[in-house]
């Protein structure tokens, strides 16, 4: 059930029986020579919609922009500053909380968002804690589709060391499954990209990772692999959501 | 051409021949008894993708959240504060400007965004103007899909007084064309909703507009109307984009 | 009745019978070769004081600085960033609301302020809407003295196409009526200034509008015209204030 | 010479010979039973205009709102938060600095502004110091009209212990000289108001100072006294401005 | 070498030979029945000072306040909001960078700081990346004293499951070694505290963890253990600092 | 009694009998050729700990960073912007207030902090005053250890004109008493440093005060003097704290 496709009366009815919601969050950033700029948003969105459809969980619109400052030396990247992303997530959570949502499950597609998301949750809680306002029940969590147990196992089996940490083979595969019309066949050179830390500014990042990949060989990806990651992730996420929301 | 479906090398190639981009921006807010919460994002996104496809213009990911504070008393609405939206748009524009984009055309689906978008543009320009930094060429504009000449004429012809100003018949029609699976048949009572000002907080807004509509009878909408709004808007937008970007 | 000239006990007495207030807001920015830097503040202040005197409405001190970033390439302009003006208006409204004012009528003299003022009102309302605090009654509006029906008709009759959109003949006339000691006789070249958009930074604005005027020939202005604009505007504003505040 | 009454060409000509400017800054706050809400703005504005007239110094528009949070329990007070006032002063200084002003002399009428003004200057300087930008010459100072040597001597001679620290006899006298139409004759009870600290919130302030005065008996004020304060302050301020700006 | 004990000339001389610095960062928060409120600051400070002494590395003053909102229901806790801590770290890094420091090694004592520290680094880098300013060389890292390999091994050996995740036996031991005068003998009930997530507000945290401990039995701690943690951590940190700074 | 050395239960017990607390606040900034970068933090910390020990007052961890932007051209200085320091103090006060502390006594070691601290207190109070929230009892004060009567008398007696206003003989003496291991013997040239204003940016400050001292000859300082300043200040501060907190 997608929030964008519901009327407010349908949301009201949903809230009468369930107060959890899934919010896909990604990024708009380069993903190397054969990866899509939208990879990090497309992947969690695709998984979230399927979980929503199979299990009747409401799915909010995707947050397409994330914290991607280190990718800004590559054309097409759009980044929010951490302070901006904190404000966006704060307003999102306060809006949902006003309606009675108690469990907000952010399904994340970008490792670079994780720290800022955690800071954003703390910012929301700190407003309550500093003012001793009791506040209503509010549970917040970040779930990374790429870190679920079934997904990790599959990536290890398919790619081992060539999976990498940015523009990974697994995320390229899933994005191709979701957008078969956008598959690109590109040869990688070197086959496996250099490894290293992304904690730096954009110019330094591009010096370290000249074609944008980090430690990966995404030419191993395929639509068929993507389908398997899709199924693995839908199961991972549904399991995590059930535990988080306390739903049967 | 969708930015989400491109690699950074494809964006680089695009920038070598053209430096304009379309950014769809909407809102996540109630749209009355038969309108979708995602109406304001779905409409400009649908039009933008078609303009991009027909004319080869790059289209950024949709900004799904807007300034919708007055709708927060209806479940499902998610609003950014104006100050948050200003920060989001500032970071978006600075990111694009860094890559060499000179004409950023925001295709907007929500009247409530217009003032804040204008303030955001001024915030970006003010940073330049207060510091006497020359800055690179940067043109920003807001185009409202619902206000184009062909769209206005069609709405007048089809609905006249029943078009209204929120949850309008025309936007409901276009969103149904874009999402036929989400059409809802609901009787309106009263047939035409009350008119008035939306400049108030959420509780007051709901008192003034009990079912969320403002001055409209969206039960007049149909998928077939939506298709005509789609064609009208694609032409309106392409004309406006060409004038703005100086493209032939 | 001017707030600056009252004691707090007099304000208390006023609030017992009426809870509306007029707040003049302008800008400090170049107005071409014969217009005053203070035009946008002087005009609404002059009108507001007269409405206050004739009809017993309380008038707050004038907000002399507005959003004028695009004029900063001309000496004498002082601009607030939009985010700063939002903070000023928020604090102003919260202060007045605390005392029991329910209708705050901003009488504006600068087109460049309108969007930011609207964003500021939404920022105030959003704090209420996001936290579900009921809040006390609070109505906010922007009235532009230059856009009232009598003023528009008079400007059309006197200047037609030479009225323009910045450093207009009508505002120069009204400011001269208010400050006869500051009248300047300057020949305009070209007689009618170029037209165009002000949505750009300060350097670009000066390139587009070399002497600061936009589409106007303010050499047509006279003190006698100013007197007629004054009378027209006092009537326009009083009518608008009465409707807004629900006063007889 | 008032900035509000100049054209930008006149400001340009002024800057060719002198780069100092006076900015009156006050507050909008209760001043006891016979003092005006506008006292703190009216006093420095009146003095600044006279200094400007006698000595040809440019005078910017008055900042009518200051940091007056502790007075908010008295109707009519409008306060900016310190963070808002810092933003206003920052934008003011950056605007003036862009035009080539090198000496900004804030003529202040409100003790409660002093700390925040000093913090605002440091905020401007800190942006330069943290980024190692050389920046152009920029001197900022706060001058309190009520603290000049001639003014202090006169207040001591006229009122001694009854001068007080808020709603003082001297400022009431000067404001009456400036606004004879607004003189109020009110008996004070107790004759001399209680003394104490204003470092508290608004409710506590009103508990400490029930009629708004702090340590003063402003019923001693008169228009004739006001004229003497006016002359004393014009001399004090001119002397201070000359020293600050290095002008002959 | 402690920065607090140096003159600026000594810092200048240091920078001629080395451009790395260690910044201890902790928190001020409850640590259960026998742990000190200052534990998280005392531990990294103690280790940093020793590394500085043994190896001649400059050590900045300790950041005693961190992000501890979830502990605010226990008396004595002082927390910064994430947005405040981001501002503090940003200013710290910009100050150091201006002087020529290129490697800033934050030695952290509080798990709750990690996400916000990462967001703060990204905020600093984003300012560079969004404005395409080249910037000088700048490396930032967070090192958690409690997560070094020697420390982890020792904690496992000494406490196994009773180590816990807040008010851990190891940090209590180290703080006692550093402050023997503050050792407290308290019986724990239950012996091992409940486990769970700290991602919640302060009231909820206290409900989950009634005496403040998370999963630990810190009554196992001793000064003698603390001495062993001290030695282990000094070695862990020196190794990490050498790798980070590229020093021999 | 140091907060860092207490458990939360000990703080709880303290609050049952007394609700005042001392918060040392300093700066990290150059102090001339023989003064320590940490002088401004070390001095109030040392005094506060002794007052705490002798009289049983709780002492919070030291705020080691202050507003020192003007010293940033000297290596080793770390400065917060005023807006950052305001946020830090706001969060500190709100944290303490939540626990029931009613009297927060900031013991300050840096003149450059005073204005920003006052603005920070006003920011806290303004949030209450603008929202008409009653708030709990909250008294805030700044006490400057260097400005107590006994300290002033001693400095006059020992150094007269050579005391100066930055890197003063008295503060160097006290810091040496506190840190005898860090005493530096340096000849001063000129013997007494130039006097002047510190209201400028860092580069200008260094031009005005080439070795960092302002008007002082700190080579007169000695550990023995420091001991006398220590005793004088402990008495000054205890007297001031008793008056402030209403304690016997």
If you average pLDDT over residues E91-119, what whole number do you get?
98
Give the Cα separation of C152 and F216 in Å (integer).
68
pLDDT in tens, C89-111: 999 999 999 999 999 999 999 99
If you average pLDDT over residues A187-209, what whole number do you get?
96
pLDDT at F47 over 90: yes
Q: Which of A117, E105, D118 is nearest to F85 (CA)?
A: D118
How confident is residue C133, by pLDDT bands cut at 50, 70 and 90?
low
Min CA distance, F133 vs chain C (Å)? 10
Which residues is C214 bridged to in the sheet?
C166
Chains in contact with B via at least 3 Cβ–Cβ pairs below 8 Å: A, C, D, E
Contact criterion met (CB below 8 Å) for E32 and E218: yes
Give the Cα separation of D112 and A160 in Å (integer).
66
| Alpha helices by DSSP H, C62-111 | 82-99
Mean pLDDT, rounded, of chain E = 97
pLDDT in tens, D34-84: 999 999 999 999 999 999 999 999 999 999 999 999 999 999 999 999 999
SS (H, E, C) chain E: CEHHHCCHHHHHHHHHHCCEEEEEECCECCECCCECCCHHHHHHHHHHHHHHHHHCCCECCCECCECCHHHCCCCCCEECCHHHHHHHHHHHHHHHHHHCCCEEEEEECCHHHHHHHHHHHHHHHHHHHHHCCCCCCCEEEEEEHHHCHHHHHHHHHHHHHHCCCECCHHHHHHHHHHCHHHCCCCCCCCCCCCCCCCCCCHHHHHHHCCCCCECCCHHHCCHHHHHHHHHHHHHHHHHHHHHHHCCC
Give the Cα separation of E142 and E120 in Å (integer).
11
Residue C134: per-residue pLDDT: 63
Q: Which of C90, C99, C107 is nearest to C137 (CA)?
A: C99
The residue written with tokens 């003007």 in the block is F70
Residue F247: per-residue pLDDT: 80
Percent of chain E's residues with pLDDT above 70: 98
Q: Which of A105, A81, A107 is nearest to A93 (CA)?
A: A105
If you average pLDDT over residues F214-223, what whole number do you get?
98
Min CA distance, A125 vs chain F (Å)? 13
Contact criterion met (CB below 8 Å) for E140 and E94: no
For B102, the token pair is 């000179």
Q: Do C119 and B121 make contact, defined as CB atoms within 8 angstroms?
A: no
If you average pLDDT over residues C165-192, what whole number do you get?
97
pLDDT at B150 over 60: yes
Q: Which of E164, E166, E183, E191 is nearest to E156 (CA)?
A: E164
Query: Would you call A6 helix, strand, or coil by DSSP?
Result: coil
pLDDT at E35 over 90: yes
Phi-psi region of B212 (alpha: psi -120 to 50; beta: other; left: phi over 0): left
Residue C135: per-residue pLDDT: 77
Give the Cα separation of B111 and C115 in Å (integer).
12
Give the Cα separation of B123 and B129 in Å (integer).
10
Give the Cα separation of A49 and C134 in Å (integer).
35
Contact criterion met (CB below 8 Å) for B106 and B141: yes
pLDDT at F208 over 80: yes
Written as one string, the DSSP assignment of F16-65 is HH--EEEEEE--B--BTTTB-TTHHHHHHHHHHHHHHHHH---BPPPB--
pLDDT in tens, E170-193: 999 999 999 999 999 999 999 999
0.90 surpassed by complex ipTM: yes
Q: Which domain holds residue D106?
A: 3-245
Residue D42: per-residue pLDDT: 98
If you average pLDDT over residues F216-224, what whole number do you get?
98
| Alpha helices by DSSP H, A56-168 | 82-99, 114-131, 149-159
Q: Do D203 and F134 make contact, defined as CB atoms within 8 angstroms?
A: yes
For B39, the token pair is 């109406």
Q: Which of F128, F117, F125 is nearest to F86 (CA)?
A: F117
pLDDT in tens, B29-69: 999 999 999 999 999 999 999 999 999 999 999 999 999 99
Question: Which residues of D, range 148-207, sit inside 8 Å of C by Cβ?
Answer: 179, 181-182, 184, 186
Q: Which of E168, E205, B81, B69 is nearest to A122 (CA)?
A: E205
pLDDT at A117 over 90: yes
CATH code (residue C222): 3.40.50.10310
Q: Which of C155, C143, C145, C175 is nearest to C215 (CA)?
A: C155
Task: For residue C171, list chain D residues with Cβ-Cβ distance below 8 A.
Answer: none
Contact criterion met (CB below 8 Å) for A170 and A163: yes
How confident is residue C132, by pLDDT bands cut at 50, 70 and 90?
low
At residue C163's C-alpha, the angle toward residues C158 and C168, to 5°, is 120
pLDDT at F16 over 80: yes
The residue written with tokens 């079912």 in the block is B211
Question: Which residues of F, range 112-131, sit inside 8 Å of D by Cβ?
Answer: 112, 114-116, 118-123, 125-130
pLDDT in tens, E120-152: 999 999 999 998 566 789 999 999 999 999 999
Q: Which of C152, C67, C171, C57 is nearest to C105 (CA)?
A: C57
pLDDT at D132 over 60: no
For E233, the token pair is 């951590």
Min CA distance, C47 vs chain F (Å)? 29
pLDDT at D139 over 90: yes
Residue E132: per-residue pLDDT: 58
Question: Which residues of D, range 131-150, sit inside 8 Å of F by Cβ?
Answer: 134-135, 138-141
Contact exists between C and B (3 or more beta carbon pairs < 8 Å) = yes
Task: For residue B130, list chain D residues with Cβ-Cβ distance below 8 A.
Answer: 91, 94-95, 98
How confident is residue F190, by pLDDT bands cut at 50, 70 and 90?
very high
Q: Which of F118, F111, F107, F112 is nearest to F236 (CA)?
A: F107
* Residues contacting residue E198 through CB under 8 Å, at least 6 positions apart: E70, E112, E166, E205, E214
* Residues contacting residue A57 through CB under 8 Å, at least 6 positions apart: A1, A18, A20, A21, A22, A51, A241
A81 part of contact set with chain E, CB < 8 Å: yes
User: Distance between terminal CA atoms of chain F?
Assistant: 18
Task: Note the maximum CA span of chain A.
Answer: 58
How confident is residue A190, by pLDDT bands cut at 50, 70 and 90?
very high
Q: Count of CB atoms within 10 A of residue C18's CB? A: 15
Residue D153: per-residue pLDDT: 98
- Counting Cα atoms < 13 Å in the Cβ hemisphere of A12 gives 11
Chain centroid offset of residue C223 CA: 19
- Give the full edge-to-edge strand order of the sheet including C139-144: C20-25, C103-108, C139-144
If you average pLDDT over residues E206-228, what whole number do you get?
98
How confident is residue A3, by pLDDT bands cut at 50, 70 and 90?
very high
Give the Cα separation of B190 and B216 in Å (integer).
10
Min CA distance, A87 vs chain F (Å)? 17
For D124, the token pair is 């401007």
Which residues is D54 bridged to in the sheet?
none
How confident is residue C247, by pLDDT bands cut at 50, 70 and 90?
confident
Contact criterion met (CB below 8 Å) for D214 and D198: yes
For B88, the token pair is 């989001």
Interface test with B, best of E127, E131, E133, E135 (most B CBs within 10 A): E131
If you average pLDDT over residues F89-103, what whole number do you get?
97
Per the structure, the count of domains in chain B is: 1
Q: Do E96 and F83 make contact, defined as CB atoms within 8 angstroms?
A: no
pLDDT in tens, C5-49: 999 999 999 999 999 999 999 999 999 999 999 999 999 999 999
Q: Considering only alpha carbons, which residue of chain B is nearest residue A67?
A: B91
* Residues contacting residue A111 through CB under 8 Å, at least 6 positions apart: A144, A146, A165, A166
Q: Count of CB atoms within 10 A of residue D158's CB? A: 18
* Residues contacting residue E17 through CB under 8 Å, at least 6 positions apart: none
- Counting Cα atoms < 13 Å in the Cβ hemisphere of B150 gives 14
Min CA distance, F75 vs chain E (Å)? 5
Percent of chain D's residues with pLDDT above 70: 98
pLDDT in tens, A13-67: 999 999 999 999 999 999 999 999 999 999 999 999 999 999 999 999 999 999 9
Q: Do C131 and A95 make contact, defined as CB atoms within 8 angstroms?
A: no
The residue written with tokens 């900022």 in the block is D140
Percent of chain C's residues with pLDDT above 90: 97
pLDDT at E110 over 80: yes
């Amino acid at each position: 059930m997608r929030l964008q496709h519901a009327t407010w009366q349908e949301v009201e009815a949903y809230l009468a029986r369930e107060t959890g919601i899934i919010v896909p969050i990604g990024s708009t950033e380069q993903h190397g020579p054969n990866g899509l700029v939208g990879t990090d948003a497309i992947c969690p969105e695709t998984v979230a919609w399927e979980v929503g459809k199979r299990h009747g969980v409401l799915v909010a619109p995707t947050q397409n922009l994330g914290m991607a400052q280190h990718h800004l030396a590559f054309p097409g990247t759009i980044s929010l500053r951490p302070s901006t992303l904190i404000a966006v997530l704060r307003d999102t959570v306060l809006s949902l909380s006003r309606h009675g949502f108690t469990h907000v499950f952010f399904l994340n597609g970008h490792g670079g968002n994780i720290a800022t998301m955690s800071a954003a949750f703390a910012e929301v809680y700190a407003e309550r804690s500093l003012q001793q306002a009791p506040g209503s029940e509010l549970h917040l969590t970040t779930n990374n589709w790429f870190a679920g147990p079934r997904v990790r196992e599959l990536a290890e089996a398919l790619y081992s060391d060539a999976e990498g940490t940015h523009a990974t083979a697994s995320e390229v595969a899933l994005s191709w499954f979701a957008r078969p019309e956008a598959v690109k066949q590109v040869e990688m050179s070197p086959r496996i990209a250099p490894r290293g830390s992304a904690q730096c500014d954009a110019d330094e990042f591009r010096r370290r990772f000249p074609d944008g990949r980090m430690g990966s060989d995404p030419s191993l990806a395929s639509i068929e692999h993507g389908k398997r990651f899709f199924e693995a992730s839908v199961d991972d996420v549904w399991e995590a959501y059930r535990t988080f929301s306390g739903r049967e």
